[in-house]
Amino acid sequence: MSARRVGIIMNGVTGRMGRNQHLERSIAAIRAEGGLHIGGELVMPDPLLVGRDEGRLRALGEQFGISAITTDLDAALRDPDYPIYFDAQTTAGRERALSMAIEAGKDCYCEKPIATSSSLALALATQAERAGVRNGVVQDKLFLPGLLKLAQVLESGALGEVLSASIDFGYWVFPDRIGAVQRPSWNYRAEDGGGIILDMFCHFRYLLDHLFGEVSAVTATAGTKIPVRVDEQLRPYQATADDDAAALVELRNGAIVTIHASWCVRPYRDDLFVLKVDGSKASAVADLRRCQLQPAEATPRFTWNPDLPQELDPRSAWIDVPAREPVQNAFRYQWERFLAHVVAGEPFPWSLRDGARGVQFAELATESMAERRWVEVPEL
């Protein structure tokens, strides 16, 4: 079977996330396996790598067998052989490039945050809708094995009414020479679009929306706990972005969610991300790969007595939730869904407007922090 070629402009794949998840583990992996079957035909993604450093682009192309590279984004957007535009640049450079791609009539898929402010993000979503281009935003956490199992539990109704939830995320990001390349230095500069609220609250918004229902209000606090870090050249610099944040979120269904996200903690939990949900009939806890359930019938009867050791092990009465089907890389799965959306018109519910909601949530959390109050989250 001959393959149908689909050209994709991939901008920003020399960065860690763009290279590892989107190029190597998604598009290059699909190409290495001979393409993707969509709607009865074989589809072969054909990337054009775009960036600022020609040498790095050429090295990537040689590694993954991709000959098309350019440092000229304008020329790439004029090329009709590449109808899809993908953006994994730093946040500060994304809004202008996305707007140019939409104006050029490209179907657009991008990393988040899609912009540095909710007004810019909403303008992008509106521009794409008016232009009639297909569009989507990466929402990878929804497709991690543990979160897929949690969604399975929620869909079954096993938890009953969701009463509350908690999100605990983070790890220690070394600020010194030991971990200089652990995360990009721009992540810790507010002027470059960095900050844990803008980065992670976009993730938390789509998780809450798609798992539990829309958020209605938020109050938050954050700060820069580590004021000096070292960059990729091991030079000290002043960190200006928040690296630790906590929030209390109210959902429209009345449930309350607590959030703590930090790059300044040493985890004492099962994984770097843990989401716990308590319901009227059962509770569930999910990390990146696992999900466990404790139904009412298996809930131990604890007695509070601080003068004696606890006789019951709180972890002993939890049941592992099995996966319904094999799970692949979350980024690749969403890439396959977006390509099916473009090629065959299959549904893709994670649009740029979803991305705008994430930016809105981060912005309102920051507003609540500045004004030290609850902030309502309007529908977007």
The whole domain housing 91 covers: 3-139+329-348
Q: Are residues 23 and 33 in the same domain?
A: yes
Q: Are residues 57 and 178 in the same domain?
A: no
Average pLDDT, the chain: 94
Confidence of residue 179 (pLDDT cuts 50, 70, 90): low
Q: Tell me whether residue 209 is in a domain.
A: yes
Confidence of residue 115 (pLDDT cuts 50, 70, 90): very high
- Cis? peptide before 227, omega within 30° of 0: no
Q: Are residues 126 and 237 in the same domain?
A: no
Q: Tell me whether residue 380 is in a domain.
A: no
Q: Are residues 196 and 341 in the same domain?
A: no
Per-residue pLDDT reduced to its tens digit, 120-169 = 999 999 999 999 999 999 999 999 999 999 999 999 999 999 999 999 99
Q: Are residues 158 and 82 in the same domain?
A: no
Q: Are residues 167 and 249 in the same domain?
A: yes
Q: Tell me, what's the pLDDT at 62?
A: 95
How confident is the model over 249-270, as a mean pLDDT? 96
Per-residue pLDDT reduced to its tens digit, 198-235 = 999 999 999 999 999 999 999 999 999 999 999 988 99
Q: Are residues 200 and 67 in the same domain?
A: no
- Residue 221 is part of a domain; what is its CATH number? 3.30.360.10
**Token output for 220:** 């938050």
Q: Are residues 215 and 323 in the same domain?
A: yes
Q: Tell me whether residue 269 is in a domain.
A: yes
Q: Tell me whether residue 354 is in a domain.
A: no
Q: How many structural domains compose the chain? A: 2
Q: Are residues 112 and 214 in the same domain?
A: no
Per-residue pLDDT reduced to its tens digit, 300-329 = 988 888 898 888 888 888 999 998 888 889
Q: Are residues 124 and 224 in the same domain?
A: no
Q: Are residues 238 and 301 in the same domain?
A: yes
Instruction: Please state, for a pLDDT cut of 70, what percent of the chain lies above it.
Output: 99
How many CA atoms lie within 13 Å of 110's alpha carbon, on the beta-carbon side?
A: 35
Q: Are residues 342 and 240 in the same domain?
A: no
Q: Which residues contact 254 (CB under 8 A, 6 or more apart)?
A: none
If one counts every other C-beta atom within 10 angstroms of the C-beta of residue 227, the result is 12
- Are the CB atoms for 239 and 228 separated by under 8 Å? yes
Q: Tell me whether residue 353 is in a domain.
A: no
Q: Tell me, what's the pLDDT at 16?
A: 87
> What DSSP state is assigned to residue 144?
S
Residue 251 backbone phi and psi in degrees, to 5:
-90, 160
- Residue 25 is part of a domain; what is its CATH number? 3.40.50.720
